[in-house]
């Protein structure tokens, strides 16, 4: 148990849309504290989505909803053995996992078809909103692992 209570920092909405999810997504895209670069990247993706005639907030929300897992596994040690215990995922953790899986999937996309990271991120967000792509595969794997270890669900405490 920690000695002091953990005070959670409040995240404000982003500058343009005022959305909590967009603000958090910008923070997860950010590298080395360069928030302006991350904002520019994501807003470029949103501009490309607008040019295609889609609502960027709905697309991002749908992508996060499709990638966010319902259950994940957490290792618990009991009697010298480690068991993977399935647990339900909290809302904040769902957003964190979904955003990071989308960003990592965009990073690992090939450079042959997409030359910039904003193009890769756009393609991955569109794929995730259509329930396709690498990030959705990661979600399916995670939930499948939780399903196979359902027998150990009595060990959560």
- For residue 102, count other CB atoms closer than 10 A to its CB: 29
Q: Does residue 15 lie in a domain region?
A: no
Higher pLDDT, 25 or 114: 25
Question: Which domain CATH number covers 92?
Answer: 1.10.455.10
Which residues neighbour 87 within 8 Å (Cβ) at sequence distance 6 or greater? 71, 72, 73, 74, 156
Task: State percent of the chain over pLDDT 90.
Answer: 57
Identify the pLDDT of residue 96. 94
Given a cut of 80, whether residue 157 has pLDDT beyond it is: no
Domain that holds residue 104: 20-155
Mean pLDDT computed over 143-147 = 90
Q: Domain count of the chain? A: 1
Q: Does residue 3 lie in a domain region?
A: no
* Neighbouring-strand partners of residue 86: 73
Mean pLDDT computed over 122-135 = 92
For the chain, give the mean pLDDT.
89
> What is the tens place of the pLDDT at every residue in 63-112?
999 999 999 988 888 888 888 888 899 999 999 999 999 999 999 988 77
Q: Does residue 1 lie in a domain region?
A: no
By the 8 A CB rule, do 153 and 71 touch?
no
Q: Does residue 14 lie in a domain region?
A: no
Q: Does residue 119 lie in a domain region?
A: yes
d(C-alpha 42, C-alpha 102), whole Å: 13
Identify the pLDDT of residue 2. 66
């Amino acid at each position: 148990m920690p000695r002091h209570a953990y005070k959670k920092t409040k995240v404000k909405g982003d500058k343009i849309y005022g959305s909590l999810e967009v603000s958090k997504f910008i923070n997860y895209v950010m590298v080395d504290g360069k928030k302006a670069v991350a904002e520019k990247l994501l807003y470029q993706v949103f501009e490309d989505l607008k040019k295609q005639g889609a609502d960027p907030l709905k697309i991002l929300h749908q992508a996060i909803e499709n990638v966010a897992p319902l259950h994940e596994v957490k290792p618990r040690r009991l009697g010298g053995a480690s068991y993977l215990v399935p647990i339900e995922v909290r809302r904040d953790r769902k957003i964190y996992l979904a955003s990071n899986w989308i960003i990592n999937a965009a990073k690992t996309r090939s450079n042959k078809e997409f030359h910039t990271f904003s193009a890769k991120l756009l393609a991955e967000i569109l794929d995730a909103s259509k329930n396709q792509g690498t990030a959705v595969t990661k979600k399916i794997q995670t939930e499948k692992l939780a399903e196979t270890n359902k027998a150990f669900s009595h060990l959560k405490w």
